[in-house]
């Protein structure tokens, strides 16, 4: 009987966890992977390039020459240091929660993944012998940001000002951080802008009217 009660409690907790926003799940996943990076690198402030990073971060050479195409997906869940992780997860939480309310859980996850992959595909434009290893969620987050801007601007003065303020803040922080992958940001942003334009025309207008008062 005790085991059955434990089972019921675990099931209840799992159900509650499954009801959390996808944004929270993504943040938890990023943190878990960062802990693995810290363990394999023996560092928190700056993650050294080791076997784990080489295998899952984005290397143009490994993707274009060796065919390690999984890096187009896995690299968006790796980060090179605690500040890198903190700023990305901060923006993901602030922007992701809002966009997820507007477009729903599944569409949000799809946009996040596609924007991240497209950002990494843009990174490949540097060529196979570019001496860089890229990682981070910023390409996907720029996709989230781009969609949110399109869906927010013009509906009210408050949402327009908020969108412009976030644009300035993201630009400022990315301007002062070293090693910024401009191509990944551009690819993710374009993906988000295109999706936002499509969503605004097709299905999102009534949802925005219902939700934008809570921002």
Which residues are the active-site residues? 138, 185
The 3-class SS string of 64-80 reads HCCCCCCHHHHHHHCCC
Please list, in sequence order, all residues whose beta carbon lies within 8 angstroms of the beta carbon of residue 107, skipping any fewer than 6 positions away: 199
Nearest in space to 130 (alpha carbons), one of 69, 184, 59: 59
Nearest in space to 69 (alpha carbons), one of 77, 83, 59: 59
Vertex 85 angle, CA 137 and 67, to 5°: 40
Q: How many CB atoms lie within 10 A of CB 10?
A: 10
Q: Are 26 and 112 in contact (CB under 8 A)?
A: yes
Residue 125's beta-bridge partner residues? none
Residue 113's beta-bridge partner residues? none
């Amino acid at each position: 009987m005790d085991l059955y009660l434990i089972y019921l409690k675990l099931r209840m907790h799992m159900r509650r966890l499954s009801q959390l926003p996808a944004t929270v799940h993504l943040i938890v996943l990023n943190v878990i992977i960062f802990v693995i990076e810290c363990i394999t690198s023996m560092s928190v402030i700056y993650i050294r390039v080791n076997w784990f990073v080489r295998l899952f971060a984005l290397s143009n050479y490994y993707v274009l020459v060796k065919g390690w195409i999984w890096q187009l997906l896995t690299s968006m869940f790796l980060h090179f240091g605690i500040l890198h992780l903190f700023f990305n997860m901060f923006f993901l939480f602030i922007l992701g929660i809002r966009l997820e309310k507007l477009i729903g859980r599944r569409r949000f996850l799809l946009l996040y993944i596609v924007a991240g992959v497209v950002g990494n595909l843009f990174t490949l434009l540097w060529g196979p012998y570019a001496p860089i290893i890229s990682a981070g969620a910023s390409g996907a987050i720029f996709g989230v940001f781009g969609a949110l801007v399109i869906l927010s601007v013009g509906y009210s003065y408050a949402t327009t000002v908020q969108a412009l303020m976030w644009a300035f803040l993201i630009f400022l922080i990315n301007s002062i951080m070293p090693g910024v992958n401009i191509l990944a940001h551009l690819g993710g942003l374009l993906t988000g802008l295109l999706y936002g334009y499509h969503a605004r025309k097709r299905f999102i207008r009534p949802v925005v009217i219902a939700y934008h008062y809570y921002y």
